[in-house]
């Protein structure tokens, strides 16, 4: 029962708003010592877990890198770049990004883009820059609407594109579930039937983006 002291440390630490990382580390040490491990053995377990899962920890480097890039003017550069193309509007630009997101997700490249990696630092500012180049400064409502459209475009492209890739987790989960129910299907069969859904999603959301672009133009 003493090993449950680690849970108490987590509860108390979060309740008093201590640093979450320090709370988790302290809870791990308390649990390890209560289980009969020495502090050195607990630290060794931390090191082994980090080494075994270092590919997961590497993704944590994305956020500080993006933060530094934004502070150095990444969003402003993105707006300036798209503003140089006078014939580009936000609707077709986001439709192009939707196609890119679906195609790359269908190939298994689900992490090549995303909300943190591309939408916030580049896609949303570029959509804003495209509108500003054609229609002038944006109101707060229009700016937030564009950000929402950019975020939704990424979500829809990923959601309906990744199921075409046969080795994605959702496909394998469905294959396993159906097999447990006595229904044998191949991953390729599910992937093939995901293609019509992806095409319909592309057409529907693409039409929504173009219609929103036209309404935005008429409103100005």
In whole angstroms, give the CA distance from residue 199 to residue 207.
12
Residue 196 has pLDDT above 90, yes or no: yes
In whole angstroms, give the CA distance from residue 197 to residue 204.
11
- Report pLDDT digits (tens) over 23-67: 888 888 888 888 888 888 888 887 777 666 555 555 566 667 667
- pLDDT mean over 90-102: 93
What are the C-alpha distances in Å from 112 to residues 18, 35, 65, 152?
34, 42, 15, 17
Cβ atoms within 10 A of the Cβ of 71, count? 9
Residue 149 has pLDDT above 90, yes or no: yes
Which pLDDT value is given to residue 176?
A: 82
pLDDT band at 206 (very low <50, low <70, confident <90, very high): very high
129 contacts 78 by C-beta, under 8 angstroms = yes
The rounded percent of the chain whose pLDDT value lies above 70 is 89
Closest alpha carbon to 97 in 77, 84, 78: 78
- Report pLDDT digits (tens) over 64-78: 766 777 677 777 777
Which pLDDT value is given to residue 50?
A: 67
pTM of the model: 0.67
137 contacts 127 by C-beta, under 8 angstroms = no
Q: Enumerate residues 6+ apart whose C-beta is below 8 A from 15.
A: none
132 contacts 192 by C-beta, under 8 angstroms = no
| Of the candidate ranges 74-88, 115-129, 155-169, the one whose mean pLDDT is the lowest | 74-88
Residue 117 has pLDDT above 90, yes or no: no
Could you state, in order of their start, the residue ranges of all structural domains in the chain? 2-52, 61-218
- pLDDT mean over 91-118: 90
Closest alpha carbon to 171 in 200, 201, 197: 197
Which pLDDT value is given to residue 208?
A: 94
In whole angstroms, give the CA distance from residue 76 to residue 145.
19
Which pLDDT value is given to residue 100?
A: 95
Residue 128 has pLDDT above 80, yes or no: yes
**Average model confidence (pLDDT) across the chain:** 83
Residue 187 has pLDDT above 90, yes or no: no
């Amino acid at each position: 029962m003493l090993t449950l002291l680690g849970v108490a440390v987590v509860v108390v630490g979060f309740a008093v708003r201590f640093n979450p990382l320090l709370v988790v580390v302290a809870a791990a040490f308390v649990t390890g010592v209560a289980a009969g491990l020495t502090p050195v053995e607990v630290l060794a377990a931390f090191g082994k877990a980090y080494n075994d899962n270092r590919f997961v920890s590497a993704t944590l480097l994305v956020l500080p890198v993006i933060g530094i890039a934004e502070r150095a003017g990444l969003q402003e550069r993105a707006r300036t770049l798209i503003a140089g193309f006078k014939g580009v509007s936000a609707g077709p630009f986001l439709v192009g990004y939707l196609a890119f997101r679906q195609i790359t997700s269908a190939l298994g490249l689900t992490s090549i883009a995303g909300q943190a990696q591309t939408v916030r630092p580049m896609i949303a500012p570029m959509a804003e820059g495209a509108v500003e180049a054609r229609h002038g400064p944006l109101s707060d409502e229009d700016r937030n609407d564009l950000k929402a459209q950019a975020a939704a475009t990424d979500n829809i492209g990923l959601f309906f594109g990744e199921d075409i890739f046969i080795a994605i987790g959702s496909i394998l989960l469905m294959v396993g579930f159906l097999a447990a129910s006595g229904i044998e299907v191949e991953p390729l069969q599910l992937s093939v039937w995901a293609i019509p859904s992806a095409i319909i999603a592309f057409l529907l959301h693409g039409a929504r983006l173009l219609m929103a672009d036209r309404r935005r133009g008429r409103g100005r």
